[in-house]
Structure 1
Amino acid sequence: MIGNDIVDLALSRTESNWKRKGWVQKIFTAIEQHYIFEADHPEIQVWKFWSMKEAVYKAHQRRFGHPPKYNPKDFNCTLGGEVMIDKCVYKTSTIITEKYIYSIAKASNIEYDTQIFDETLRMHPLLLQKIAENYKIDSSIVTIKKDGNGIPMVRIDQKAEDIPISITHHGQYSAFVIGLE
């Protein structure tokens, strides 16, 4: 299973005051708080851990079919990129730029492809094309619908397929990650 999350840093600076009293304590475990406040760039560490937790939430929810319920303190991040929840360990990889932080989480050695976009409108047709190329089919028969838990599901010729996929967007950035066959 895979998941992803992106944080638009410019938007996070206007929408979320991570320095306000109690915010960090509400979201992060004691050890994560220690890592944040000891970091050279605490703001970057906050959003890195946040994106890791969100990416793992998506992977974990898909893996076990959980209904939407997110308690950030249930997800325990390490500086090495691992995140633990419910005795499960997920590996994450994170890209940090001046404009965004992007994390991918996976529960196995699944090969994947990912793309990041700075315009959310362009992503959907390219995602459908990527799926079509991977499965050697026409993109006109590929659609993406959310299931009852809000998890995106790939449909090929109206039939649901078990293709690991995760979609994220925040501010002016969006991204997808898709498991490869």
Structure 2
Amino acid sequence: MIGNDIVDIQLAHIQSNWQRRGWMQKIYTPKEQNLILKSTNPEREVWILWTMKEATYKAHQRRFGLQPKYNPKSFECDTIQKRVIIDDFEYEINTSITNEYIYSVAFLSNINYTSEVFTGKYEAKKRVKELLNHKSVKALQIHMDKDTNGIPILKNNHTKIDIPFSLTHHGKFSAFAILQ
């Protein structure tokens, strides 16, 4: 399974007041709060952990077909081991950090995936269709939908295609992750 999340750093800086009283305690475990507070760049650490949790939430929800229920403190991030643990299940994490965005992909070990980040909200969707065209799936007939739990799925006409993927966007960035 796979999940991804991106944060536009400039937009998050403007829109979020992560330092307000009680916010970190609602989102982060005591261990994670300690990482943030001891960091040389606490704001960046907030968004690294955030994207790790969000990406893992998406992968875990898809893996088990779970209804939407986000309890961020149930996801324990380990930035050293590059993993997140939820309910005794472990997900590996790849995180990319630039001056403009923080992007994380969560996945089960021993899988291959393709992932790209774009400037533009809809660019990731376009690229997924291009990739599917290379897999001999007629991209013109493909559309993206969500199942009853809000999990993104691909359909060819009205038939579900079993290719797990994840889309994310925030601010001026979009990204996808898709299993190969």
Shared fold, TM over 0.5: yes
> Identity percentage over the alignment?
46
How many Å separate the matches in 1 of 2:124 and 2:105? 17
Match of 1:118 in 2: 119
Q: Deviations over 1:118-157 (max 9, x none)?
A: 1113332221111221x22321122211111111111134
- Letter paired with 1:172: K
> Does the 8 Å contact 2:56/2:91 carry over to 1?
yes
- Letter paired with 2:174: S
- Letter paired with 2:109: S
How many Å separate the matches in 1 of 2:106 and 2:166? 10
Secondary structure of residue in 1 paired with 2:46: helix
Q: Deviations over 1:23-66 (max 9, x none)?
A: 11111000011111111111111100000000000000000000
How many Å separate the matches in 2 of 1:138 and 1:63? 26
1:1-181 alignment to 2 at 5 Å? 1-80=1-80, 81-133=82-134, 135-180=135-180
> Does the 8 Å contact 1:111/1:179 carry over to 2?
yes
Bigger drift between 115-124 and 37-46 goes to 115-124
How many Å separate the matches in 2 of 1:156 and 1:108? 29
**1:104 Cα deviation (Å)?**
0.1
TM-score (norm 2): 0.96
**1:17 Cα deviation (Å)?**
0.7
- Letter paired with 2:142: V
Secondary structure of residue in 2 paired with 1:67: coil
How many Å separate the matches in 2 of 1:49 and 1:11? 17
Secondary structure of residue in 2 paired with 1:128: helix
Q: Deviations over 1:60-119 (max 9, x none)?
A: 000000000101101000122210001100000100001100000002321111111111
How many Å separate the matches in 2 of 1:28 and 1:178? 28
Secondary structure of residue in 1 paired with 2:57: helix
How many Å separate the matches in 1 of 2:67 and 2:137? 32
> Does the 8 Å contact 2:141/2:156 carry over to 1?
yes
List alignment gaps of at least 5 residues for structure 2: none
Aligned residues: 179
> Does the 8 Å contact 2:124/2:167 carry over to 1?
no
> What is the CA RMSD across the aligned residues, in angstroms?
1.1
> Does the 8 Å contact 1:141/1:158 carry over to 2?
no
- Letter paired with 1:94: T
Secondary structure of residue in 1 paired with 2:155: strand
